[in-house]
């Protein structure tokens, strides 16, 4: 047998899946179901309001090519559920395939979910395929944020050869109300420097609010929007969308935290977001 015919060692991969479901008891949102597998864990800190807060943890410490993790959450009718992460998710250099992260959220009638993970950091030559799917019942609402940092500020990185494929699908009673795809293909001249795209920014975020009161939320958000060209807001029906660019992760947080606080049910970001 030739040396070229000998298969290389199988690479160890991170795998994880976690699900959480809620119930309403005496007006308080409480845990109904919890499932954890592999590197995906969920912890439930105490809160001082009627919501249930779930902290999502990847015990692998980051993701690389071929790793896979999935999150699933279901909010019962009239529930209040906050989903955040223990820390920023790190996507490391890949030798070929993408790391895969999938999120599925179901929001019952009259319920509200805040999907507020901390930033995702893309390292040089990392590959990430990510999806967010949410199905909202009538009268339900959702606040969702995804923020991406291109490299580590402290190390002077820019991750110019990182790739990202991020797909969102938001439905109301099965009817598609919002779809978007963000693609970074690793072409820095066209994508990273192009004026209509990232124009040199090293951090970006999308904040989405879907709910019947989106117009009223838009009026509140306008009061905290900085007067700058690298942040913008659009309102289309029941969808409010804010997009922001920044030169660093810290700058991005300072821009989006007041906006998230306006849209989240608790009126603030989770404590784990504290700078």
Domain boundaries, the chain: 28-270
The SS3 of residue 92 is: coil
Within 13 A of 150's CA, how many CA atoms are on the CB side?
A: 24
The SS3 of residue 209 is: strand
The SS3 of residue 193 is: coil
Residue 57 phi/psi, 5° resolution?
-130, 130
Within 13 A of 238's CA, how many CA atoms are on the CB side?
A: 17
Residue 74 phi/psi, 5° resolution?
-135, 120
Tens digits of pLDDT across the chain (275 residues): 444 444 445 567 899 999 999 999 998 999 999 999 999 999 999 888 889 999 999 999 999 999 999 999 999 999 999 999 999 999 999 988 999 999 999 999 999 999 999 999 999 999 999 999 999 999 999 999 999 999 887 677 778 889 999 999 999 999 999 999 999 887 666 677 766 677 788 999 999 999 999 999 999 999 998 877 789 999 999 999 999 999 999 999 999 999 999 999 988 899 998 75
CA-to-CA distance for 239 and 266, rounded, in angstroms? 19
The reported pTM is 0.92
The SS3 of residue 265 is: coil
């Amino acid at each position: 047998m030739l040396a070229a015919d000998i298969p290389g060692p199988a690479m160890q991969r991170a795998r994880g899946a976690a699900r959480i479901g809620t119930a309403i008891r005496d007006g308080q949102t409480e845990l109904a179901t919890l499932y954890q597998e592999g590197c995906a864990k969920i912890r439930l800190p105490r809160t001082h309001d009627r919501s249930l807060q779930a902290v999502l943890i990847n015990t692998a410490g980051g993701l690389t090519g071929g790793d896979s993790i999935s999150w699933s959450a279901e909010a019962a009718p009239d529930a209040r559920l906050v989903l955040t992460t223990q820390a920023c998710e790190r996507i490391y250099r890949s030798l070929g395939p993408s790391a895969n992260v999938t999120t599925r959220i179901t929001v019952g009638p009259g319920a509200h979910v805040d999907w507020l993970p901390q930033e995702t950091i893309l390292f040089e030559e990392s590959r990430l395929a990510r999806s967010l799917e949410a199905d909202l019942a009538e009268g339900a609402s959702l606040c969702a944020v995804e923020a991406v940092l291109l490299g580590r500020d402290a190390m002077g990185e820019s991750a110019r050869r990182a790739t990202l494929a991020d797909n969102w699908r938001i439905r109301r009673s099965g009817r598609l109300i919002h779809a978007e795809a963000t693609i970074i293909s690793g072409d820095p001249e066209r994508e990273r420097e192009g004026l209509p795209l990232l124009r040199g920014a090293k951090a970006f975020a999308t904040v989405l609010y879907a709910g019947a009161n989106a117009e009223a939320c838009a009026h509140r958000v306008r009061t905290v929007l900085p007067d700058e060209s690298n942040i913008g807001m659009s309102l289309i029906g029941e969808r409010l969308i804010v997009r922001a660019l920044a030169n660093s992760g810290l700058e991005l947080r300072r821009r989006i935290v007041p906006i998230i606080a306006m849209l989240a049910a608790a009126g603030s970001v989770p404590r784990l977001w504290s700078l």
